[in-house]
A and B are shown apart, each in its own frame.
Chain A
Amino acid sequence: MAILSPSIDLEKPEKIALRTQYGKTLAELGEQYPDLVVLDADLACSTMTKYFADAYPDRFFNQGISEADLMCTAAGLAAVGKIPFVSTFALFASGRAWDQVRNTICYSNLNVKICPTHSGLSLGEDGASHQSIEDIALMRVIPNMTVVVPSDAIETERVIRWAIDTEGPMYIRLVRPNHAVIHTADYRFEPYKIEVMREGKDLTLCATGEMVYHALLAAKWLSEKDGIEAEVLNCVFIKPFDTETLVKSARKTGKVMTIESHQFIAGLGGAVCEVLSEFQPTPVKRLGTRDQFGQSGKPDDLFKAYGLDPQSIYQEAKAFIQAS
Chain B
Amino acid sequence: MSTPMQNQISNITRPDVQTKLSIQDLQELTRQLRLDILQMIFEAQSGHPGTSLSCIDILTCLWSVVMTHDKNRPDWPERDRFVLSKGHGAPALYAILMHEGYIPKEEIHTLRQVHSNLQGHPASKYIKGVDISTGSLGQGLSAAIGMALGLRLNQSPAHVYCLIGDGESQEGQIWEAALSAPAHNINNLTAICDRNGLQIDGCTEKIKPLGDIGSKFESFGWNVMEIEGHNFQQIIEALHRSKSMGQETSKPTMIVAHTTKGKGVSFMENEAGWHGKAPNAEQYEKAVADLQPDVYYQRLREA
Contacts and interface: CB of A to CB of B under 8 A. Distances in A.
A304 to B, nearest CB: 8
Nearest to B125: A293
Nearest to B47: A125
A99 to B, nearest CB: 12
Nearest to B113: A297
Contact of A45 (B113, B121, B138, B201): B201
Interface in B100-133: 112-116, 118-121, 123, 133
Given A42-B207, A296-B113, A125 B167 contact: no
Chain B CB count within 10 A is highest, among A95, A125, A128, for A125
Given A129-B121, A130-B121, A296-B120, A43 B200 contact: yes
Interface in B150-188: 167-168, 170-172
Interface residues of B, number: 31
Interface string B134-155: 1111100000000000000000
Contacts of A66: 170-172, 208
Interface residues of A, number: 32
Interface stretch (A57-65, A212-220, A230-238, A307-315): A57-65
Chain A CB count within 10 A is highest, among B118, B167, B201, B207, for B201
Contacts of B120: 125-127, 129-130, 296
B121 A42 contact: no
A130 B134 CA distance: 10
19 contacts: A40-B201, A43-B200, A44-B201, A45-B201, A46-B200, A64-B199, A64-B204, A66-B170, A125-B44, A127-B112, A130-B120, A130-B121, A296-B113, A296-B114, A296-B120, A297-B113, A297-B114, A297-B116, A301-B113
Interface of A: 40, 42-46, 62-69, 91-92, 95-96, 124-130, 295-298, 301-302, 305
Interface of B: 44, 46-47, 87, 112-116, 118-121, 123, 133-138, 167-168, 170-172, 199-201, 204, 207-208
